Homo-oligomer: A and B are copies of this chain.
Amino acid sequence: MLSDIEIAQAAKIAPINEIATNLGLAPQEIEPYGHYMAKLDLKNRKNDPMTGKLVLVTSINPTPAGEGKSTVTVGLGDALTQAGKKTVIALREPSLGPVMGMKGGATGGGFSQVIPMDKINLHFTGDFHALTTAHNTLAALIDNHMYQGNTLRLDPRRILWKRVLDINDRALRHTTIGLGGPTSGIVREDGFDITVASELMAILTLATDLPDLKHRIEAIVVGYTYDKEPVTVAQLDVAGALTVLLKDAIKPNLVQTLAQTPVIMHGGPFANIAQGTNSVQATKAALQLGEIAVTEGGFGADLGAEKFLDIKVPKLGKAPSAVVIVATVRALKMHGGQAKSDLTTPNIAALTTGLANLGRHIQSMQRYDLPVVVAINEFSSDTPAELALIANYTQQFDVKAIPTDVWAKGGAGANALAAEVIKLTEKASQLRPLYASEDALTTKIEKIVTEIYGGSKVEYSPKALRELKTFAKYGWDKLPVVMAKTQYSLSDDAQALGAPRDFTIHIKTLVPKLGAGFIVALTGNILTMPGLPADPAANHIDLLPDGETITGLF
């Protein structure tokens, strides 16, 4: 069997100028980065209408069995193109850190991939590097402010702005900095997150243009004074410099699938502590340029789709016309209690139990009044009885469950899915929002927990209760909420698979992200800096002596 990178390297790749021209872009709108990637300068299209239909791909709660959401997204995009629809895929950019840790890229797989996958998975057009630099420049400016006299009276014990690297580096989670005596700063506790967890990443992906970007950067709360008053970037007077550092990163990137469907890849915020979707600008461009724009949200529908619909859609100004929920027989069996080591064994009982997870996500999406289709990402171990059981189960929701085989067949493996998606997008639909911005933070959280997760109660820690009061004082309670919760369960207990009921969600602390424009509600220990495994992928990646061929990269 060929590896992903072998398939990608063997592909016929079109010059990016050709992809751009076919998409209707003018030469001055394309800035090439090598021959197969480009940045798009779309400032002249700011007021063009978003005439395309939006398709959101999401999934059941992820399991170690793998769902293949990106692969289905890419395969569906190719299938829609082959069905005669001018299709643009809008995706997140992958994070480099995990590439050196565990196998599994963010560019799809098999014959449903985005290329050039090696460049995209490594440095791409430098967006994440620019974000890392801007983020750490702000951190250095904060420490320098305190070192140079601290006129703002920033409390070194209450700095919210950590540092970031796009590296899986557990040793940097908790650090002490400023050691080495009076010429080397002020000693304080600090730590590093991975770059995708930076508020600047959330900001970049929500900003509608450069002035909006700068305005959002100004609003970032970097910490508190000794009097516990918030201090913003505007007070440090460095938003201009940070905006300059992100001047190119804010431009969306154009690449292509193996079948030469255009893909606009831009931004990659975490789906737990941020909104988990690609940029507003990229999705907008896809909707301006395509008849259909296919995009996705991170993790399962409880995290990714909820945030897409409640946070991104209001900024974008356009709702999905259809939602695709990706599931696999294997993962549903895991949700039904079957062991990971035994997933190729047919097990109707486990599948029956596990289907409740899929059902919960279908109901969540239908809560928004959106048309839904389930895509079963097929594995060779799936039996006809298992596939039939799923199709039968989803009928109760008036939803089709359609097998797809995009890994092996590319777009040809998703013809039936594409036909159903086209049908759904042609129906009129109107998003019914989950909450209103004037709802209290507690109301917003309660609605997410009860109507999306299927839980029954929310419990706040004493710290969170204090924060609710503080935030109300500053008027931050009108912002939307980003729930930071384990992706593996609908509840905040990662072990509770399937569709748990009558559970309580525990809010430990609330974090203001005023630049991004949301409040993060932490339900537990969310890891914002991953570690490397015992046998990191870095030990298997190599470059052949030709200087071009990379091996071991997925």
Interface, chain A (partner B; CB < 8 A): 31-35, 39, 43, 96, 100, 119, 122-123, 126, 129-130, 132-133, 136-137, 139-141, 143-144, 147-149, 163, 165-180, 183-186, 190-191, 209-211, 214, 237-238, 240-245, 247-248, 531-534, 536-543, 545, 547, 550, 552-553
Ranked 8 nearest A-B pairs via Cβ? A240-B542, A174-B180, A171-B185, A129-B129, A140-B169, A174-B179, A241-B538, A143-B171
Question: Nearest residue in B to A550 (C-beta to C-beta)?
Answer: B244
Instruction: Tell me the smallest distance from the CB of A277 to a CB of chain B, in Å.
Output: 23
Complex Cα spacing A246 to B132, Å: 18
The answer to whether A184 touches B171 (Cβ under 8 A) is: yes
Complex Cα spacing A534 to B146, Å: 10
The answer to whether A166 touches B133 (Cβ under 8 A) is: yes
Interface centre among A168, A176, A190, A242, by most B CB within 10 Å? A176
Complex Cα spacing A310 to B541, Å: 35
Complex Cα spacing A170 to B136, Å: 12
**Chain B residues, CB < 8 A from A243:** 542-543
Complex Cα spacing A71 to B308, Å: 51
Instruction: Return 5 A-B CB contacts under 8 Å, by A number.
Output: A122-B245, A126-B129, A139-B169, A174-B184, A244-B542
Complex Cα spacing A328 to B448, Å: 69
Known: A43-B547, A543-B210. A133 touches B141 (CB 8 A): no
| Secondary structure dominating the interface of A | mixed
Question: Nearest residue in B to A27 (C-beta to C-beta)?
Answer: B35
- Complex copy number for this chain: 2
The answer to whether A539 touches B238 (Cβ under 8 A) is: yes
Question: Nearest residue in B to A186 (C-beta to C-beta)?
Answer: B171
Known: A536-B144, A543-B247. A176 touches B176 (CB 8 A): yes
Complex Cα spacing A179 to B172, Å: 8
Q: Say which residue of B119, B140, B209, B533 sits within 8 Å of A532 (CB atoms).
A: B140
**Chain B residues, CB < 8 A from A547:** 43, 209-211, 247
Known: A123-B130, A553-B244. A136 touches B169 (CB 8 A): yes
The answer to whether A538 touches B238 (Cβ under 8 A) is: yes
The answer to whether B34 touches A237 (Cβ under 8 A) is: no
**Chain B residues, CB < 8 A from A545:** 210-211
The answer to whether B35 touches A34 (Cβ under 8 A) is: no
Interface centre among A147, A537, A538, by most B CB within 10 Å? A538
Known: A543-B210, A550-B244, A553-B244. A147 touches B171 (CB 8 A): yes
**Chain B residues, CB < 8 A from A553:** 244
Instruction: Tell me the smallest distance from the CB of A249 to a CB of chain B, in Å.
Output: 8
Question: Nearest residue in B to A178 (C-beta to C-beta)?
Answer: B171
Question: Nearest residue in B to A185 (C-beta to C-beta)?
Answer: B171
**Chain B residues, CB < 8 A from A240:** 541-543, 552
Complex Cα spacing A168 to B100, Å: 27
The answer to whether A538 touches B176 (Cβ under 8 A) is: no
**Chain B residues, CB < 8 A from A211:** 545, 547
The answer to whether A141 touches B534 (Cβ under 8 A) is: no
The answer to whether A137 touches B167 (Cβ under 8 A) is: yes
**Chain B residues, CB < 8 A from A130:** 123, 129
Q: A144-B170, A210-B543, A244-B550 are in contact. List 10 more A-B contacts (CB 8 A).
A: A34-B39, A122-B245, A132-B132, A137-B167, A173-B184, A173-B185, A174-B178, A175-B175, A211-B545, A243-B543
Interface centre among A129, A139, A140, by most B CB within 10 Å? A140
Instruction: Tell me the smallest distance from the CB of A486 to a CB of chain B, in Å.
Output: 16
Question: Nearest residue in B to A136 (C-beta to C-beta)?
Answer: B167
**Chain B residues, CB < 8 A from A100:** 137, 140-141, 241
